[in-house]
């Protein structure tokens, strides 16, 4: 069970990265596309806001899985 939850945390990171890359390549709308358009049009504030938002999504997702890990595996700690 601990290995499954560790794998879920790692796969969450990969999934977030691939979702943004997929948006950059194929989407018309989305956070990845907004970041790309901000970079191409030299809108630094929008660029950093998008990158910060993506980082916060990853941080909150990782934290929520860490909390679930501690609750589910209370016997391990």
* Domains contained in the chain, number: 1
Which stretches in the chain have pLDDT values below 50? none
| 76 located within any domain | no
For the entire predicted model, the pTM comes to 0.82
| 77 located within any domain | no
| 28 located within any domain | yes
Q: How far apart are CA 27 and CA 12, in angstroms?
A: 21
| 62 located within any domain | yes
| 12 located within any domain | yes
Q: Which of 41, 59, 39 is nearest to 49 (CA)?
A: 39
Specify the pLDDT at position 37.
93
| 19 located within any domain | yes
Specify the pLDDT at position 3.
85
Q: How far apart are CA 19 and CA 27, in angstroms?
A: 10
| 11 located within any domain | yes
| 75 located within any domain | no
Q: What domain range includes position 46?
A: 2-70
């Amino acid at each position: 069970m601990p290995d499954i939850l560790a794998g879920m945390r790692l796969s969450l990171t990969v999934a977030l990265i691939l979702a943004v890359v997929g948006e950059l390549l194929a989407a018309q709308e989305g956070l990845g596309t907004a970041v790309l358009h901000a970079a191409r049009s030299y809108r630094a504030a929008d660029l950093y806001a998008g990158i910060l938002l993506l980082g916060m999504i990853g941080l909150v997702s990782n934290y929520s899985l860490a909390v679930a890990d501690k609750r589910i595996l209370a016997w391990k700690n």
